[in-house]
Structure 1
Amino acid sequence: MPAFRVPTIDISAWVGPGSPDARAAVVAAVDHACRTVGFMQVVGHGIPNAVLNDFTGALDAFFALPLDEKKRYVRPGSENRGYSPPKSESLSYSLGVDPVTRMNDFFEAFNVGTSWREYPETSATPADYAENTWPDEAPAFEPAVTAYYDEARRVARTLTRVFAAALRVPDDFFEGITGHSIDVLRMNNYALPPGSIELGAELTGMGEHTDFGLVTVLWADRVAGLQVLGLDGSWNDVAPAEGALLVNLGDVAARLTNDKWLSTLHRVKPPVIDGTIERRRSAAFFHDGNADAVIAPLPHFVTPEAPAVYDPVTVREHITAKLAGSRAGRKNVGAVREAARVAAATRG
């Protein structure tokens, strides 16, 4: 089996004007990455450095606030909005896998997303598209995060156009299932105060999981921690290249392609250096699909030799089950295929 590698793909031909040959080369590279790794490094995405600089400054300002102030912005887990304190989640539960200790993922996070108000004349409701909470103590947070959110969403939508070409479906196919997409930006901070961990004990940065939706666009510090499961069952370190975004597929993509494209398991291990955790920041933009979209394998991926391995499910049903696992501690008993992959993985 070839060595594990996350390919770097320049998507500029799809961001701006590009020749048919240049666009076709991007499509072929993306299709190969989706079939063999489920992850890719994307450059040529067009996000201005000024937007990224303001965004990371806003993250620093919020996460530097005292914990009691941040806890003012905790929202019900089902809403997938607001602040999540350290050790309040366990993403392995989203796959039906028991962590070593309950709710032991040590990152803290802040979530924002697309409100139902942005989708007039659709079926969007507050139950699936909650309003956002913005911290008063960090006044630059809302405008800086909103600017980056819009850029990340643009990149995700660009990628779905590439996906349509790769999957040989109509150009507007993904518009039909993402026209009022559940989109969420999850900003993570992997850091704890000195003395708050017991070195040598089981400590999980973020437990093994697959992403819930169609595609994830990830900005991250170039700090060790992210690990991706290879086809041989090994865990492999992955860090973003200079100026690159990490992109990975989620469960919706795997279901649409009957597992021909990979929703790859990944996790974050705490980077402990000389007895302390080195800080790591990341921001994952999840482009998940319409809440009421019914997801089932596309007909041309189902044959007598390769029957459908997934039953039809709405995006709402799938995400609700996974959120109940990660944020409410209820094991997702429907994630049979994903849980089996975790059990088979080596623990290197």
Structure 2
Amino acid sequence: MTQDSFIPVIDLAPAREGDNALVGKQIHDAFVSSGFCYIKNHGISDECITELKKQALDFFHLPLSEKDRYRPKQAVRGFNALNRTIMYGADRPDYKEFYQIGPEFPPSSGQKPPQNELQGPNVWPEGRPAFRDAFLAYYKAVAECGQILLKAVANSLNLESNFFEKKYHYPLQRTQAIWYPPAEAAHEAESITYGVAPHTDYGCITLLWQDDTGGLEVQNLQNEWVSAVPIPGTLVINIGDLLCRWSNDRYRSNMHRVLNKSGKERFSIATFYDPDFGAVIDPRDLGLPETEASHYEPVTAGAYIMGRISESQKKKTL
């Protein structure tokens, strides 16, 4: 199986015009086989991406003592240093730094933000208004893309196009700017320095922009690692455990990893576009055939995601 057939490129333009049938069919085929696809014509401008990349790298290149001032205090927002996370089954933390934001509810909006472990005030570096502006601009643009994409996903599961909207009143959208410093460690099998160790994502859908460095790899049906090569003008899309559960295992939450062997830094922007904290994820909501029993008991999105996040941060240093 070639990389192109295993991780297909899907044109989102028809769905952006309200035609979800063709896109839904292609999404169905991709998520059944690999759980991954690329999308083009996603609607996020090059200028928006370039500005966030510039502002984020300026921040990541600061001394650690300066960046550490913005470590998360609540709601998993802010700067996360090297050795902050370790994936299940890994013997060492991920070799990456990332800065995470979530939804903001300014007083002028009249909205009362939900009170839970994943939603709260963002943390912003002092004296860097361009950093904040760039992050928020991308955050808004990728959310619009996520909304369109979910309508096509609903179509792919023979659901009403607004099915997911009912679960996304206050979505758990987390957007991360991720920096992978050059890794100098050897890459023998027993001593691999992972940017991100093999894992599945926690939530519903992930939308990833990656630079041209390469390093993202996806496990194919033969349990071999296939490179998700950077394709200009695209986002990499994959589903997580919650959508796998929701689909009653129709769709595949697939193992993937980042292995930066380039000898240079790598940068990406990952958005985890997930339902409300209290949204109930129940396969029976999808109208299972009478002959198909539910594989999972209902679970709330927030409880499941927080459980996975807590597990990944138990070991923070070597």
Task: Say yes or no: TM over 0.5.
Answer: yes
Q: Which residue in 2 is equivalent to 1:86?
A: 82
Distance 2:144 2:113 in 1: 22
Match of 2:135 among 131, 145, 151: 145
Displacement, 1:300? Answer: 5.3
What CA deviation, in whole Å up to 9, does each residue of 1:226-246 have, x standing for no partner? 111112211111122111111
1:329 to 273, 291, 315: 315
CA contact (8 A) 2:84 2:315 kept: no
Decide whether aligned partners of structure 1 residues 199 and 128 sit closer, same or farther in structure 2, where only a CA change above 3 A counts: closer
Matching residue of 1:337: none
Shift of 1:115: 3.7
In the TM superposition, residue 329 of structure 1 has moved relative to its aligned partner by: 3.4
Q: Give the CA deviation at 1:122.
A: 7.1
Q: Percent identity?
A: 28
Q: Give the deviation of 1:291 after TM superposition.
A: 0.4
Mapped partners of 1:288, 1:300: distance in 2: 17
Q: CA, structure 1 residues 132+12, in 2 after alignment: closer, same or farther (shift >3 Å)?
A: same
Deviation at 1:264, TM superposition (A): 1.2
C-alpha displacement at 1:56, in angstroms?
Answer: 1.2
Unpaired segments of 5 or more residues in structure 1? Answer: 331-348
CA shift digits 1:92-141 (9 cap, x unpaired): 23xxx2x223xx21101100011466996678215331210011253310
Question: Residue 7 in 1 paired to residue 8 in 2?
Answer: yes
Between the aligned partners of 1:57 and 1:284, the Cα distance in structure 2 is: 16
Question: Does residue 109 of structure 1 match 2:106?
Answer: no
- Aligned letter for 1:107? K
Q: Contact 1:86/1:106 (CA < 8 Å) preserved in 2?
A: yes
Number of residue pairs the alignment of both structures matches: 311
Match of 1:54 in 2: 51
Q: Is the 8 A contact 1:116 1:126 kept in 2?
A: no
Check conservation: 1:257, 1:298, Cα contact below 8 A.
no
**Cα deviation, residue 79, structure 1:** 2.2
**Could you state the TM-score of these two structures normalised by the residue count of structure 1?**
0.83
Match of 1:295 among 278, 281, 297: 281
Structure 2 partner of 1:207: 197
The alignment yields a C-alpha RMSD, in angstroms, of 2.3
CA spacing shift, 1:122–1:9, aligned 2, 3 Å: same
* TM-score normalised according to structure 2 size: 0.90
In structure 1, the residue matched to 2:66 is 69
Distance in 1, Cα, partners of 2:117 & 2:265 = 34
> Hey, what does 1:159 align to over in structure 2?
149
* Structure 1 residues 307 and 233, CA gap change in structure 2 (3 angstroms): farther
| Mapped pair 1:45 → 2:31 | no
Displaced runs of 4+ in structure 1, greater than 4 A?
116-123, 197-200, 299-306
